Amino acid sequence: MATKQFIFVLLYIVCAPFIGGFLDGVDRKVSARMQGRKGPSVFQPFYDVIKLFQKEPLVVKRSQTFLVMTYLLFMVITGGLFFAGMDLLLCFFSLTTCAMFLVLAASFTHSPYASVGCQRELVQMMAYEPMVLLTAVGFYVATGTFYVKDIIGMDMSAIVYLPGVFIGFLFILTIKMRKSPFDLSTAHHAHQEIVRGVTQEMVGSNLALIHLAEWYETVFLLGVVAMFFVNSNPVSYVAALIVVLLAYFLEILIDNVSARVNWKVLLVSTWVVTLVAGGVNLTILVLMHR
C-alpha cells in the first residue's frame, strides 16, 4: 500500500504541471473557438512559462520570491497529501495556507493594484471557505471517514449521498479557477481587473512559479471533483474522468458567457448556494443517519 501511495504522489508531482498546463491550453483554445477566433496552440501555456523564466528578474523585494516559492511548495504538498490518500481536512487546510502565502506575496510590495487584488482575494476566501469545509464534513457524514483512500474505497460513490455538496463545490470551483464571473482578485487569461490584481508585481520567474502552482491546483481541484464519483469499482474511475472533463468544460463555458460581478454579489451568491445546496444536503444526511 505504501509503495502504491508513493507512486501516486510521485506521479502527481511529475505529471500535474503537464496535465494542468495542457488543460490550460485546451481552455484557451476552446475559449477562442467559442469567441469565433482561431486561438493559440494548446501548448501556449508552456511557451508562456518558458518565456517567463527567461525574463530579467525584476523584483521590488527579494523575499517575495521566497513567499511565492512557499506558495508553490504548499500547493504541491496539498495535492501530494490528497493523492497519497491522506486526510481530506488536512488537504483543505493546506490549501488555505497556500492562499494565505499568495496574499502575503502579493501584498508585500505595497503596490496599490496588488493591494486591491489582495483584499479581493481575501473576500473570495471568505466566500468559498465555508463550502470547502462543508465538502470535507459532507464526505465524513456520508462515508464515516476523512481519509481519501477510504472514501474512494467505498462500495457506493459519494455523489449518491452528496449531490447538493457537489453542486456547491462546482460553484466555488469557478472562484478557485479564477473564472468569470468570479475573477475579482486576478483573472485567468488576458482579462484585466484592477490590471492584474494579486499577480501585479510578480515578474518573470515569480509569475512562472505562480502559473505552475495554479496548474498543480487545477489537478488537485479536479481530483476532488473526481472523488465524488470514484468507488471500489474500477468502472467508476472512467465515469469520474468523464465528469471531470465535463466539469472543466462547464467552467470554460461559464467563463465565456458571463460578465464579472462585484464582490457583494460574489459573497452573497456563494453563501446562499453553500447554505441551500450544501446545508440542506448535509441536514438530510444527518437526519437519515439518526
Partner 1 sequence: MANVSRSPWLLHYDGSSCNGCDIEVLACLTPVYDAERFGVVNTGNPMHADILLITGGINSQNASVVEQIYNQMPNPKVVCAVGTCACTGGVFKECYNIKGGADTVIPVDIYVPGCAARPQSIIDGIVQAVALFQKKHEEMKSEKK
Angstrom distance (rounded) from CA 111 to CA 115: 6
207 to each of 11, 40, 68, 81, 266, how far by Cα in Å?
Answer: 24, 20, 9, 25, 26
Angstrom distance (rounded) from CA 79 to CA 36: 35
Angstrom distance (rounded) from CA 247 to CA 228: 12
Handedness of CA 111, 117, 121, 123 (dihedral sign): positive
| By the rule CB under 8 A, 51 interacts with partner 1 | yes
| By the rule CB under 8 A, 64 interacts with partner 1 | no
φ/ψ of 83, rounded to 5, equals -75, -15
Sequential DSSP letters for 35-75: TT-----TTHHHHHHHHHHHS----SSTHHHHHHHHHHHHH
Angstrom distance (rounded) from CA 88 to CA 223: 12
The residue from 18, 47, 66, 249 that contacts partner 1 (CB under 8 A) is: 47
Nearer to partner 1, 46 or 101 (CB): 46
- Which of these ranges, 40-48, 96-104, 161-169, 173-181, lies near partner 1 under the rule CB under 8 A? 40-48
Nearer to partner 1, 34 or 250 (CB): 34
Nearer to partner 1, 56 or 155 (CB): 56
- Which of these ranges, 43-51, 157-165, 227-235, 249-257, lies near partner 1 under the rule CB under 8 A? 43-51
CA dihedral 26, 29, 34, 38 (to 10 degrees): -160
| By the rule CB under 8 A, 35 interacts with partner 1 | yes
The residue from 4, 37, 110, 289 that contacts partner 1 (CB under 8 A) is: 37
φ/ψ of 194, rounded to 5, equals 45, 55
- Which of these ranges, 150-158, 161-169, 194-202, 234-242, lies near partner 1 under the rule CB under 8 A? 194-202
- Which of these ranges, 37-45, 148-156, 210-218, 239-247, lies near partner 1 under the rule CB under 8 A? 37-45
* Residue 28: CB minimum distance to partner 1, A: 8
Q: In the numeric block, which cell numbers belong to residue 65?
A: 520570491
- Which of these ranges, 56-64, 128-136, 253-261, 268-276, lies near partner 1 under the rule CB under 8 A? 56-64
The residue from 13, 19, 32, 90 that contacts partner 1 (CB under 8 A) is: 32
Angstrom distance (rounded) from CA 205 to CA 211: 10
Nearer to partner 1, 88 or 208 (CB): 208
| By the rule CB under 8 A, 62 interacts with partner 1 | no
| By the rule CB under 8 A, 14 interacts with partner 1 | no
Nearer to partner 1, 5 or 109 (CB): 109
- Residues ≥6 apart with Cβ < 8 Å to 290: none
Site for partner 1, residues 104 to 163, rule: CB under 8 A: none
Contact residues: partner 1, CB under 8 A: 28, 32, 35-41, 44, 47-48, 50-58, 189-190, 192, 195-196, 199-204, 207
